[in-house]
Structure 1
Amino acid sequence: MAVERFVDSSVIRKLILLIVMAVFASNGSASGGWVIERDDRGDSPLLKERKAIAMSPEQREQQALSAAYNQALEAEQARIRDHWASPEVSSQTRWVAYSDDYSSKRVVDFEVNQIEISIDGIYTGSRLDFTAMSSKVGSQLELTLGTSIKAAVEQDPIQKAINQAYASVDKAPVADDAGDELVLKELFTAARPSAVDVRNAAATLMRKASIRYQAVNASLASVPVNTGRKLTYVVPLPDNRLRKKVMEYRPEVSKNAQRFSLSSDVMMAIIHTESHFNPLARSHIPAFGLMQIVPSTAGRDATKKLYKKPTLLSAQYLYNPKKNIEVGAAYLSVLYYQYLKDIKNPESRLYYTLAAYNAGASNVARAFVGKASFTDAVDTINTMTPDQVLDRLVTKSPHKETRDYVKKILKRRAYYATL
């Protein structure tokens, strides 16, 4: 880069832009979701920004949503700390909800396949009243089983703050009902289970519940008393729950895979790895839903393909499983068939696509040329066999998360190919 001889206002503006870009780059580590740097594309907004010395709508959107998430997270965790040692909130694989007074906590762990309900110990005299506790936990379990995706989103205080942030960057984001279907609809045979159905399902699950006290699963008889600490009931979910979830989503995945000339097995493996089929999945980026879509980047690229116009999608839209799968498939098509089209071998391109899905196309290029430039990496990639490309990705990618991510996707892809 040539150095300007005189420090005029344009140079100062350039320096400010470089500082802003450096901040964004420092936050661009592997983190899952649709995170892809697009500074190497010919039509990249970042290239336009370098010329215009201004922040793009995409950057403003991402900055606003990220700031709203972080501010809401800090506020919510402060409230949680008044009642709980660990201020846990919802993540990609764990849906976390608290009672209004924060006295109880409900967690659905989609990866471990269990529900955790934590409450204050209830005492009769000096001893724990297990009957009263079981009754309270049972009620909390019914509440969990009977909650719809829409209700879960509307009740989440962090999500409320993110929704408000949309107004500052887009007056009319494309919205959609998050869905009246239950978060755990796979536990029921009826599409709209009755209150009796929910109560019976909770009672059945409670029969296999155990109490975790001080991070140890113990029988009821051995739980200490008079400690004043919270207890967690661990409720295992049915072993076939994941398979039912797969069967629930597979038709929609197959339809969109065919529509966009993709492999349904790869899409299923991505959903499994990104969210473990948690429709309420949310990461810190923030990214939303089954395929962890970032509204300001992948969402805009996908809507350009779907609707011929790049559009900001609301979080509610992306929490809708069918919409999320459609958007994810559209973006995967854009990534594979457009952004990475210069990789000639289809298998090599697939491997690179998976890594780029996790860490960004430019970051992944470091595994091949030692710098964040997909354009510079293409020639090197095209001299390699697919096996060599894969080996480089799982051994030389700059982030361990990305190396493990590619392995997980390919392993799960093989599994879904057998179903």
Structure 2
Amino acid sequence: MGEHLVRRLTLLVVVLLAASNGAANGGWVIDRDDRGDSPLLKDRKSIAMTEQEQQQRLASAYKAAVGAEYRNIRQHWSAPETSNQTRWVAYSDDYQVKKVVDFKSNQIEISMEGVFSGGRLDFAAMNKKVGSELEKTVATRLKDAIENDPVQTAINQVYADLGAASGAAQLETSELVLKELFRSANPSAAEIRREAGALMRNASIRYQALNASVASVPVSLGKKMTYVIPMPDNRIRRKVMEFQPVVRSNAKRFDLSEDVVMAIIHTESHFNPLARSHVPAFGLMQIVPSTAGRDATRELYQKPSLLSAQYLYNPKKNIEVGAAYLHVLYYDYLKSIKNPQSRLYYTIAAYNAGASNVAKAFIGKASFTDAVEVVNGMTPDLVLQRLLKQAPHKETRQYLEKVLKRRAYYAKM
């Protein structure tokens, strides 16, 4: 426990130093979520500058926190990894065990040094150790996952210094990260053991890069191994059903299409409530607190606020904020696009890359105002084809395609 505390304090010092120097050093330039062309704040330059400075501080602090954690991880693992949009990554306090929930691949990965006896892997001992770690993983609650994440802990102080709003949402994250695996919201220890045991029956072992039978691998060829544990095929559908009521209510509230909201959640995070990107953006709909978050809170509360990561890790709050931001994009900022279908295509692309960046697909420069006339002179099909072929970033082109395909799927549900 002492080592864990030292590790967190070290990360916090690194982060605070980086955050204090962020504005002076120009911060970390972000292109993917450059949503600084907010329609709600465009006529208030002083506030917009504050947003830019906040984004620089947060991005610098996050980059520093990840860098510090990478240095810790490299002492034990050759390839450092922290949580991202589709993978929740957690290590034991001593870094000897690595646990990953891969929401995109629908599997859990548990890695540790192998237990050997007489030069051969002791399967019984390994299965027992891995099974124990699996039980801890499926029983982890959102609140605990957030509090035990060194990177998140390190940047929380920066959010607090910037006056981030957390509110009661932090208290609502006591649900399980993988609650869809259980019938009850609060499964008993016996139910957790039973579920972990059922999952273990389908596990396979990935022993470094070797393809040979694990039973014949000598100790000298390496120690670490990974158990790959598939989750149920219907888990994602269960997750969709879990979020469907809150998606439906917010879609109705903000005059949005329910299938579009669901498709964006799927594409942004694959329903990972702990999703986090380098921007940094947080939660199911990958909200950037200093830009999209401020636009959304102005819509929600008539006052722009900087939302904390803890707030955005709350699934219900995240969906509410994401839906509010989509409303702002479609009904406010992009309202000058006359055709509703063309505006929808542009909105989806803008959610990923920012409205000004998307304009490059039509006029070759980052100016939505100048692009409107061109967009309005095209049919919706031509607008879509232009975005799919000429949006400035490959990620944006693929993003739009994925959202539209998934929208068609969710429209049938």
Q: Common fold, TM-score beyond 0.5? A: yes
Question: Per the alignment, do residues 297 and 86 of structure 1 end up closer, same or farther by CA in structure 2, a change over 3 Å counting?
Answer: same
Shift of 1:60: 2.2
Give the distance between the partners of 2:25 and 2:178, measured in 1 at CA: 42
Give the distance between the partners of 2:137 and 2:274, measured in 1 at CA: 13
Q: Within the alignment, does 1:336 sit opposite 2:333 as a pair?
A: no
Shift of 1:66: 1.0
Of 302, 305, 308, the match for 1:308: 302
Which residue of structure 1 lines up, in the alignment, with residue 409 of structure 2?
415
Shift of 1:368: 0.3
Secondary structure at the aligned position of 1:313 is classed as coil
Unaligned runs of 5+ in 2: 1-22
Of 152, 161, 166, the match for 2:154: 161
Which residue of structure 1 lines up, in the alignment, with residue 73 of structure 2?
80
Shift of 1:42: 8.0
Cα deviation digits, residues 204-223 of structure 1 (max 9, x gap): 10001000012456654354
Of 311, 318, 321, the match for 1:327: 321
Of 130, 135, 147, the match for 1:137: 130
Secondary structure at the aligned position of 1:226 is classed as helix
Question: 179-188 or 121-130: which moved more?
Answer: 121-130
Letter in 2 for 1:29: D
Of 347, 366, 373, the match for 1:372: 366
After TM superposition, list the pairs within 5 Å mapping 1:11-410 onto structure 2. 27-30=29-32, 35-38=34-37, 41=39, 43-44=41-42, 48-49=45-46, 56-170=49-163, 173-174=166-167, 176-177=169-170, 179-215=173-209, 220-410=214-404
Question: 368-377 or 62-71: which moved more?
Answer: 62-71
Question: Per the alignment, do residues 256 and 223 of structure 1 end up closer, same or farther by CA in structure 2, a change over 3 Å counting?
Answer: farther
Cα deviation digits, residues 272-313 of structure 1 (max 9, x gap): 000000000000111100000111111111111111111111
Cα deviation digits, residues 220-276 of structure 1 (max 9, x gap): 435443333200000000000000000000111001000100001000000000000
Give the distance between the partners of 2:389 and 2:320, measured in 1 at CA: 32
Shift of 1:167: 2.4
Determine which structure has greater relative contact order: mean sequence separation of CA pairs < 8 Å that are 6+ residues apart, divided by chain length. 1
Letter in 1 for 2:35: I
- Computing the radius of gyration over CA atoms, which structure comes out larger, 1 or 2? 1
Shift of 1:194: 0.8
- Contact in 1 for aligned 2:337/2:376 (Cα 8 Å): yes
Report percent identity of matched pairs.
64
Shift of 1:390: 0.4
Question: Per the alignment, do residues 268 and 335 of structure 1 end up closer, same or farther by CA in structure 2, a change over 3 Å counting?
Answer: same
Letter in 2 for 1:260: F
Give the distance between the partners of 2:370 and 2:48, measured in 1 at CA: 25
Give the distance between the partners of 2:108 and 2:136, measured in 1 at CA: 12
Question: Per the alignment, do residues 290 and 55 of structure 1 end up closer, same or farther by CA in structure 2, a change over 3 Å counting?
Answer: closer
Unaligned runs of 5+ in 1: 1-19
Shift of 1:43: 4.1
Cα deviation digits, residues 310-360 of structure 1 (max 9, x gap): 111111110000010111111110111001010000000000001111111
Give the distance between the partners of 1:346 and 1:192, measured in 2 at CA: 44
Which residue of structure 2 lines up, in the alignment, with residue 6 of structure 1?
none
- Contact in 1 for aligned 2:119/2:218 (Cα 8 Å): no
Letter in 2 for 1:326: E
Shift of 1:401: 0.5
Question: Per the alignment, do residues 286 and 212 of structure 1 end up closer, same or farther by CA in structure 2, a change over 3 Å counting?
Answer: same
Question: Per the alignment, do residues 189 and 362 of structure 1 end up closer, same or farther by CA in structure 2, a change over 3 Å counting?
Answer: same
- Contact in 1 for aligned 2:86/2:270 (Cα 8 Å): yes
- Contact in 1 for aligned 2:36/2:48 (Cα 8 Å): no
Letter in 1 for 2:406: R
Secondary structure at the aligned position of 1:153 is classed as helix
Using the size of structure 1 for normalisation, the TM-score is 0.89
Give the distance between the partners of 1:124 and 1:214, measured in 2 at CA: 19
Q: Number of residue pairs matched?
A: 390
Question: Per the alignment, do residues 412 and 22 of structure 1 end up closer, same or farther by CA in structure 2, a change over 3 Å counting?
Answer: farther
Give the distance between the partners of 1:376 and 1:256, measured in 2 at CA: 32
- Contact in 1 for aligned 2:34/2:353 (Cα 8 Å): yes
Give the distance between the partners of 1:353 and 1:245, measured in 2 at CA: 25
Shift of 1:131: 1.1
Shift of 1:170: 1.5
Shift of 1:64: 1.7
Cα deviation digits, residues 64-94 of structure 1 (max 9, x gap): 2111111110100000000001100000000
Shift of 1:176: 2.2
Shift of 1:166: 1.1
Give the distance between the partners of 2:41 and 2:274, measured in 1 at CA: 33
Question: 161-170 or 83-92: which moved more?
Answer: 161-170
Give the distance between the partners of 1:354 and 1:21, measured in 2 at CA: 34
- Contact in 2 for aligned 1:210/1:219 (Cα 8 Å): no
Question: Per the alignment, do residues 219 and 272 of structure 1 end up closer, same or farther by CA in structure 2, a change over 3 Å counting?
Answer: farther
Give the distance between the partners of 1:155 and 1:56, measured in 2 at CA: 33
